[in-house]
Amino acid sequence: MELNRHNIMLALVAFVMIQPIIDVLTTASLLFIDLPLTIGVIIRLAYLAIMAIWIVNESRKSKRARLYLLYLSGLAVFVIINFIVGYTVKEPFYIMQELTYYNKVVYFHVLLFGFILLLESMKKENGSDNARQLVNYFLIASLTISVVFIIAHLTGTSMANYARSKEGWTGWFYAGNEIGASMSMLLPITALFAVYKTTTTRKLLHWLPFVLLSIAMLGLGTKVGYGGILIVLLSIFFGSLLLLLTTKEYPARQRVKANSFISLILLIVLIVATPFTPVFGNMYAHLDILGISLEKPPVELDDDGNEIPPEDGDEDEPLITGEQFENLVFSSRETYKANYVEQFKDAPISQKLFGMGFAGNYDAPEPHKPLKMIEMDFHDWFFSFGILGFIYMVAPIIWFAGSFIVKLVMNLKQNFNYFSILTGISFLVGIGISYTAGHVLTAPSVSIWLAFLLAVVTVVSRDGNIRPEL
Collect all residues with Cβ–Cβ distance below 8 Å to 20 and sequence separation of at least 6: 141, 144, 145, 148, 173, 182
Q: Is the dihedral of CA 155, 156, 160, 166 positive or negative?
A: positive
Q: Which residues of 95-123 are buried (b: 16+ CB within 10 A; e: fewer)?
A: eeebeebbebbbbbbbbbbbbbbbbbbbb
CA 424, 461, 236 angle in degrees (round to 5)? 30
Residue 117 identity (one-letter amino acid): L
Q: What is residue 85's predicted lDDT score, i.e. its pLDDT?
A: 96
Collect all residues with Cβ–Cβ distance below 8 Å to 424 and sequence separation of at least 6: 404, 408
Spell out the per-residue pLDDT of the chain, length 470, in tens.
566 888 888 999 999 999 999 999 999 988 888 777 889 999 999 999 999 999 999 999 899 999 999 999 999 999 999 999 999 999 899 999 999 999 999 999 999 999 999 999 998 888 888 999 999 999 999 999 999 999 999 999 988 877 666 778 888 998 888 999 999 999 999 999 999 998 888 888 899 999 999 999 999 888 888 999 999 999 999 999 999 988 888 888 899 999 999 999 999 999 999 988 888 776 655 555 555 555 555 555 555 556 556 555 555 555 555 555 555 455 567 778 888 999 999 999 999 999 999 988 988 887 777 888 888 999 999 999 999 999 999 999 999 999 999 999 988 888 899 999 999 999 999 999 999 888 899 999 999 999 999 999 999 998 777 777 66
Instruction: Give Cα separations from 174 to 19, 132, 171, 182 (angstroms).
Output: 13, 30, 8, 13
Collect all residues with Cβ–Cβ distance below 8 Å to 327 and sequence separation of at least 6: 290, 334, 335
Q: State how far the Cα of 24 lies from the Cα of 234, in Å rounded to an integer.
A: 31
Instruction: Give Cα separations from 209 to 185, 188, 213 (angstroms).
Output: 14, 11, 6
Nearest in space to 341 (alpha carbons), one of 320, 316, 360, 314: 360
Q: What is residue 283's predicted lDDT score, i.e. its pLDDT?
A: 67
Q: What is residue 328's predicted lDDT score, i.e. its pLDDT?
A: 47
Q: Whole-prediction pTM value? A: 0.89
Q: What is residue 357's predicted lDDT score, i.e. its pLDDT?
A: 93
